[in-house]
Amino acid sequence: MKVILTGATGYVGEGVLLECLDNPLVEKVLSVSRRPCGHVHPKLEEYLTEDFMALRAGDPMLQGYDAVFFCAGISSVGKKEEQYKVISHDIPLHFADIVGPRERMTFIYVSGAGNYNHTDQMWVRVKKSTEDALGRKGFKGAYNFRPAIMWRYKGQLHIQKIQYLFWAMYPLVKLFGGWNTMSEVGRAMIAAARDGYPQREIEVQDITTLAGRL
């Protein structure tokens, strides 16, 4: 399959990118980002843009792919709702509007683990609104990935300091099943794009299940 990926300069996006580059089921990856991802590979092409909202429908660079793995995003910590909404809602929906043809594509949005019944939380309201809107865009499949703690992919360059704290908790969290490897997350996206899945919300255990299909 041919995949468009965003967020390759972030932790999740880079891990998914590396899995796609190593996976024989992926023929090509187009990384759409504001700056180079730092990796070179025969499968990889980069499309650099300063402003995602400036991208327009019909852009030939964004047509003819099988899936979008939308991994770009930011933490809600310290962000006002208006600022967080632009990154986590407006940009993903705009991107969904300009890729195509949608009826032949799968769109996977990296949301996040949490209790989505607590809609009084700002980040939950924004993420849930984005998830719901993507489901109405007319894609062949639209899935919302909600990973928790993820173990790095070999060769990752873009690792935030907070990941080291998460990794320190990894042995404990692993006992309770609240973790995935970055390879599992990438393989799960590929499997969902290829085979579909009976539910749109992909939790930690669903990621493990999907990854096991490849």
Q: State both tokens at 31.
A: 């990384």
> From CA 81, how far away is CA 48, in angstroms rounded?
27
Q: State both tokens at 131.
A: 């998830």
Which residue range is the domain that position 121 belongs to? 2-211
**Is the preceding peptide bond at 101 cis, omega within 30 degrees of 0?**
yes
> From CA 157, how far away is CA 201, in angstroms rounded?
29
Domain at 14, CATH number? 3.40.50.720
Q: Is there a contact between 185 and 152 (Cβ–Cβ < 8 Å)?
A: no
Q: Is 202 helix (H, G, I), strand (E, B) or coil?
A: strand
Confidence of residue 57 (pLDDT cuts 50, 70, 90): very high
**Of all residues in the chain, what percent are helix, strand and coil, respectively (each to 5)?**
40, 20, 40
Domain count, the chain: 1
> What is the pLDDT at residue 166?
66
Does the pTM of the predicted model rise above 0.95? no
| Per-residue model confidence as pLDDT tens digits over 134-174 | 999 999 999 999 998 888 899 888 877 766 666 667 666 66
